[in-house]
Structure 1
Amino acid sequence: MHVVITGANRGIGQALDSRYRAAGHEVTGTSRAGGEFLTLDVTNKVDHAAMAQTLDSRPVDLLVCNAGVYFDKHESLADGYPPEMWAETMAANVTGVFLTVQNLLPNLQLSKAPKIAIISSQMASQERAPGGSYIYRASKAAALNLGRNLATDLAHIGIAVGIYHPGWVKTDMGTEAADITVDESADGLVRRFDELDLKTTGCFRTWDGRDHAF
């Protein structure tokens, strides 16, 4: 199996990358910084074109859209959330997912059972609205909506799409106050991706297998 993982240089992406490699799969991990990974800033169309050229004619069996940002964690409603922060977050967390899928669609179509896993968040749910983090919440809700619509449009060509809440994870983004470890999240997500098929396409599920409210 050939797995492509965006944002594979740290956190959940790095843990997923390590697991799939250890299981003997071919993995293409990406990172804005490049290095040992394929260089990809998901907001940069030039990087996307270069990735598509690098992976030309190679089937992609599982695409994990994991790269994302969370800039507004400590912003104030009174005077925070500047327009530039909205634009940068949406570009990474929403447009970046779309561009990745769009550019790797030919590779996915070369697979016998292609899958796309989009990492969203419980913060995308309209039923979970405790306030704050307006930009991040909006971007993850948009990523959820994007995934649901992709599932509809891609079903007829055999591509399954799942959207996932990875848990509140002890990473740089989640902080040490989070509920679960990176290893717990990654182990659960691998199981969820394995379960994904055309019967469950469009699902919004948690790392531990529960259907999440939209």
Structure 2
Amino acid sequence: MTILITGANRGIGAGLAAHYRDRGEEVIGTGRSGAVRIELDVTRPESHAAMARALGETAIDLLICNAGVYLDKGADPETGYGADLWAQTFATNVTGVFLTVQALLPNLRRARGAKVAIIASQMGSSTRAPGGSYIYRASKAAAVNLGRNLAADLKAEAIAVGIYHPGWVQTDMGGPTAEITAEEAVHGLAQRFAALSLETTGCFETWDGLAHPF
């Protein structure tokens, strides 16, 4: 199985890459820097085009759209949430996901029963609205919606799409006081990806297998 992971240079992405390599799978890690196989800035169309050229006719069995940013943590609603933060966040968390899928559609089509896993967040659920983090929440809500619509369009091509809340994870983004370790998140997510099928395409699930309300 060949797996491509965006944002594989740190956090959950790096953990997933190590997990699949330990299982003997072919892993193509991407990131803007660090120990990655392909350099990819998900906000830049030309970077996606370069990735597609580098991959050529490689079949991708599992695409994990993991790259993401959280730039408005702790922002003040009166003085924060600048327009530049909205643009940067949506460029990575939403447009970046779509551009990645779009660029790799030929590679996904070459695999039999390919899958796309989008790492979103429960913070994008309309049922969770405790306030704050407006930009991040809005971007993850858009990522959930994007995943649902991709699932509808790609089902006819036998490509399943799943959307996942990875948990509150002890990474640079989640912080040291988060609820679960990166290892726990990786193990749970890998199980979710394995269970994804055309019957469950469009699902929004937590790392530990619970259906999450939209």
TM-score bin, normalised by smaller chain: over 0.9
Please, what TM-score do these two structures have when normalized by structure 2?
0.99
Q: What SS does the corresponding residue of 1:162 show, helix, strand or coil?
A: strand
* Cα distance change, pair 11–68 in 1 and its aligned pair in 2 (3 A): same
Q: Take 1:5 and 1:35, find their aligned partners in 2: how far apart are those partners?
A: 13
Task: Output one character per residue of 1:57-94: Cα deviation in whole Å (capped at 9) or x when no partner.
Answer: 11000000000000000210011100000000000000
Structure 1 residue runs without a partner (length 5+)? none
* Cα distance change, pair 187–35 in 1 and its aligned pair in 2 (3 A): closer
Q: What SS does the corresponding residue of 2:30 show, helix, strand or coil?
A: strand
Kindly indicate whether the alpha-carbon contact (under 8 Å) linking 2:9 and 2:35 is maintained by their aligned counterparts in 1. no
Kindly indicate whether the alpha-carbon contact (under 8 Å) linking 1:9 and 1:37 is maintained by their aligned counterparts in 2. no
Kindly indicate whether the alpha-carbon contact (under 8 Å) linking 1:8 and 1:37 is maintained by their aligned counterparts in 2. no
After TM superposition, the structure 1 = structure 2 runs for residues 194-205 of structure 1, keeping only pairs within 5 Å, are: 194-205=194-205
Kindly indicate whether the alpha-carbon contact (under 8 Å) linking 2:167 and 2:207 is maintained by their aligned counterparts in 1. yes
Alignment match, 1:146? 146
Task: Output one character per residue of 1:170-203: Cα deviation in whole Å (capped at 9) or x when no partner.
Answer: 0000001110000000000000000000000000
Runs of 4+ deviating beyond 4 Å: none
Alignment match, 2:47? 47
**Deviation of 1:34 (Å):** 5.1
Kindly indicate whether the alpha-carbon contact (under 8 Å) linking 1:93 and 1:139 is maintained by their aligned counterparts in 2. yes
Kindly indicate whether the alpha-carbon contact (under 8 Å) linking 2:205 and 2:212 is maintained by their aligned counterparts in 1. yes
Q: Identity over aligned residues, as a percent?
A: 61
Alignment match, 2:83? 83
Alignment match, 1:7? 7
Alignment match, 1:175? 175
Alignment match, 1:94? 94
Alignment match, 1:122? 122
Kindly indicate whether the alpha-carbon contact (under 8 Å) linking 2:165 and 2:205 is maintained by their aligned counterparts in 1. yes
Alignment match, 2:213? 213
Q: What SS does the corresponding residue of 1:3 show, helix, strand or coil?
A: strand
Please, what TM-score do these two structures have when normalized by structure 1?
0.99
Q: Which amino acid aligns with 1:75?
A: A
Structure 2 residue runs without a partner (length 5+)? none
Q: Which amino acid aligns with 1:4?
A: L
**Deviation of 1:37 (Å):** 2.9
Q: Take 1:37 and 1:103, find their aligned partners in 2: how far apart are those partners?
A: 17
Q: What SS does the corresponding residue of 1:109 show, helix, strand or coil?
A: helix
Q: Take 2:38 and 2:95, find their aligned partners in 1: how far apart are those partners?
A: 19
Q: Which amino acid aligns with 1:104?
A: L
Q: Take 2:131 and 2:94, find their aligned partners in 1: how far apart are those partners?
A: 21
Aligned length: 214
Superposition CA RMSD, Å: 0.7
Alignment match, 1:135? 135
